[in-house]
Chain A
Amino acid sequence: MTPNPALQPSFTGDHRNPARASNARWKAGAAPSVVSLRQADSDANPKVHLDGISLSYKTNDGKRLLALDNIDLKVQPGEFLCIVGPSGCGKSTLLHLIAGLNQPTSGSVLMDNKPVTAPGTDRILIFQELGLFPWLKVGENVEFGMKMKGLSKAERRERVDYYLRLVHLSQFKDSYTHQLSGGMRQRVALARALATEPDVLLMDEPFAALDAQTRDLLHDELERLWAETGRTIIFVTHNVREAIRLGDRVALISFRPGKIKREYRVDLPRPRQLEDVSVALCAREILDDLRGEIDKSLREQYGDKEVHA
C-alpha cells in the first residue's frame, strides 16, 4: 500500500509545524481571527502539555499495574486532537488526569505551562456516560458550572440561553434530562461544558452509544462549535474513522502499558464526512497499526493465547 499523502506519521515528541492544522480548519466560513491567532502560536507554548506521565495502581490481587507509561504529548491552542486506542488502554484515564480528577504516579500535566493539581473549569470533561444531573432541568444543568464559579444570576441566565441556542435546545430548557433523546442529552452535556467557557474541552467517547445518523449530525455540530468558539479539544474514541473525521492530529495509544505508539497528522480538507474515501483510506492505515494493540487487548480480556481475526 502506498503511503497516504494526507496522513503524515510522526513519532512521539515530534511536534513540528504546529500551526499547520489551522490552514485546513474550515474551507469557508471560519473566523479569521481564530486562524491568525493560532498561526502565531509556537511549539513552546502548548495549551496542554503531558510531561512524562505514568500511572500505576494496585489491582485486586495485589499486583501493580502500569496503566500509562511515560506519556509525552503537547496540544496546541485551538487544536483538535483525537486519541485512539483499544478499550482498556487508559484513554479515559488520561482524560481524567488532564481534568484533575486523578493524579499521575509520576510526571505532570501542565496547562499553559502551569501544573494541574485539581479539577478546574478551564478544562471540562464530557464523560462517556455524560453525568448530567437528573434532579436538575436542562437549563439548570447548563447553569451548574457557572453557579459553582460564582457568576451572577443575570450572566448565568444569559449564557444558558446562548449555549442552549448554540446546541439547538432552547425549547427544552425546562425539561428534565430523562425526557430527552440520547443525541439531545449529548448536546446538553456539550452546552454544560461550553457554558463554563473552558479553554480545553475533554471528550470521552461521547458519541459511542449513539445511532449513526445522530452521530453524523453531532460530528457536524461539534466541528461547527469548535470553529466558532476556537476551543482546544481532546477527543478520545476507539473509532478510527471518527478520529480522522474530526481531528487535526490523531495519537495512537498502545495497550498495557498505555504508551503513545504513534501520532498522525490529518491533512484532509474540512468539512469531512465519515463516508469519504480519503477518510476511509487514512483510517485503514491507522487500523493496520492498531490491529496489533487490539489483538493484545482481546487476548487480555478473553484470556486466549491467540486471536484469529
Chain B
Amino acid sequence: MRKFARHAVFYAVLIGIWALLGALKIWPTYVFPTPKGVGEALYAGFQDHSFWIAIAVSMKRMLLGYSLSVVLGMVLGLGVASNKFLEETMGGLLVSLQSLPSICWLPLAVLWFGLTEKAILFVVVMGSLLSVTIAMEDGRKQMPKIHSMAGRNLGATGLKLFWYVLLPASLPFILNGLKQGWAFAWRSLISGEMIFVSLGLGQQLMMGRDLNDMNLVIAVMLLIIAIGYIVDGLVFRTAERSLQRRWGLEPAS
C-alpha cells in the first residue's frame, strides 16, 4: 500500500509539473501539448474506436510474429546448441546479426513481400528471432545435464523428451531471452508500422504527425508504453514468479 502511495505521489507530481509548464504558456500548445489535451485525445481515440482497432491490429501482428519467432528460435537454438559445427559457424553470425536493428530489413521485406502483412511480420520475426535463438542455445547449454539423463532413464525419447524434459528444464534459463525477444519484437513492429502505412498503433502515431496533432502523438506513445508494461508485468513477471516458486529460486530482492 505504501508502495502504491509512493507511485501515486510520484506520478501526480510529474503530471503536475507538466501541467504547470503547459499553463505557463512558454511554448505554443501545438509544440508542447498539455495533459488535458492528451487526455482528450486519448478519450476521443477510444470513443471513436480508432485506438481499439489500432491496438487489436498491432497485438494480432505481435502474437503472430512473436509465436513464429519463438517456435523458429527454439528449433534453431536447440540445433545450434547440439551441433558443434553449427555452434562455431552460426553462433557467431547470430550474435553479430543481433546488433542490426530489425527495421533495416524493411526495404528488403517490402521488395520481397510487397506492402503486405507478410512484410511487417517478417520485420517483427527478425526483431525477436535472434534473441530467442540465442536464449534457447544458452538455456540448452546451461540446463543441468542430469535432467535430460533422468528423463531418458525414465523412458522419455525424442519429442517426448523435448516437450516434457528439455523445454521445462531450460525454461528458467530462456525466460529472460523470451522477454527480451518480446521487447525487440514490440519495437520492430511499431517502427515498421510507422514507416509503411497500415492499421496499427505506429500508423496512428504517424497520423498524429501528419495532422500536426501532438496530443495524438503523445497519447499513442502512452498507449505503446502501457501495453509494453502490461505485457511485461502480466505475462512475464507472472511466469517468472511461478517459475521461482516451483524451482525454489529466491527472487532477487
Q: Chain A interface (Cβ within 8 Å of chain B)? A: 99, 101, 119-121, 124-125, 127, 129-136, 144-145, 147-149, 176-179, 192, 196
Contacts and interface: CB of A to CB of B under 8 A. Distances in A.
A125 B151 CA distance: 11
Contacts of A136: 168
A8 B89 CA distance: 60
Contact of B146 (A120, A124, A131): A131
B150 interface: yes
22 contacts: A119-B155, A120-B155, A121-B154, A121-B155, A124-B153, A124-B154, A127-B146, A127-B150, A131-B146, A131-B147, A131-B150, A131-B153, A132-B150, A134-B247, A134-B248, A135-B168, A135-B247, A144-B151, A178-B247, A179-B248, A192-B154, A196-B155
B20 to A, nearest CB: 52
- Interface size range of chain B in the complex: 20 to 34
Interface in B61-106: none
Nearest to A148: B155
B53 interface: no
A129 B153 CA distance: 14
A120 B243 CA distance: 30
B248 A148 contact: no
Nearest to B167: A135
A176 B246 contact: yes
Given A127-B146, A127-B149, A135-B246, A145 B169 contact: no
A178 B160 CA distance: 24
Contacts of A130: 146
A196 B154 contact: yes
Contacts of B247: 134-135, 176, 178
Contacts of B171: 135
Contacts of A149: 155
Nearest to A133: B147
A176 B146 CA distance: 18
A178 B248 contact: yes
A130 B144 CA distance: 12
Nearest to A145: B154
B152 A129 contact: no
Given A120-B155, A145-B155, A148-B160, A133 B248 contact: no
Is chain A's binding surface mostly helix, strand, loop or mixed? mixed
A132 B165 CA distance: 11
Given A133-B168, A133-B169, A135-B169, A119 B152 contact: yes
Interface of B: 146-147, 149-156, 160, 164-165, 168-169, 171, 243, 245-248
B155 A101 contact: no
A272 B26 CA distance: 92
A119 B153 contact: yes
A111 to B, nearest CB: 14
Contact of B246 (A101, A121, A124, A134): A134
Contacts of B150: 127, 131-133
B161 to A, nearest CB: 9
Contacts of A124: 153-154
Nearest to A180: B248
A99 B153 contact: yes
Nearest to B160: A148
Given A125-B153, A145-B155, 12 more contacts: A99-B153, A101-B152, A119-B155, A120-B155, A121-B154, A124-B153, A131-B149, A131-B153, A136-B168, A176-B248, A177-B248, A196-B154
B197 to A, nearest CB: 45
Given A127-B149, A127-B150, A148-B160, A133 B155 contact: no
> 5 shortest A-B CB distances, which residue pairs?
A178-B248, A131-B150, A145-B154, A148-B155, A131-B146
Contacts of A119: 152-153, 155
A165 to B, nearest CB: 21
A128 to B, nearest CB: 9
B154 A144 contact: yes
A133 B169 CA distance: 8
Contacts of B154: 121, 124, 144-145, 148, 192, 196
A134 B169 CA distance: 8
Contacts of B151: 144
Nearest to A129: B146
A148 B247 CA distance: 22
Contacts of A177: 248
Contacts of A125: 153
Nearest to B168: A135
Contacts of B152: 101, 119
Contacts of A127: 146, 149-150, 153
A101 B164 contact: no
Contacts of B243: 135
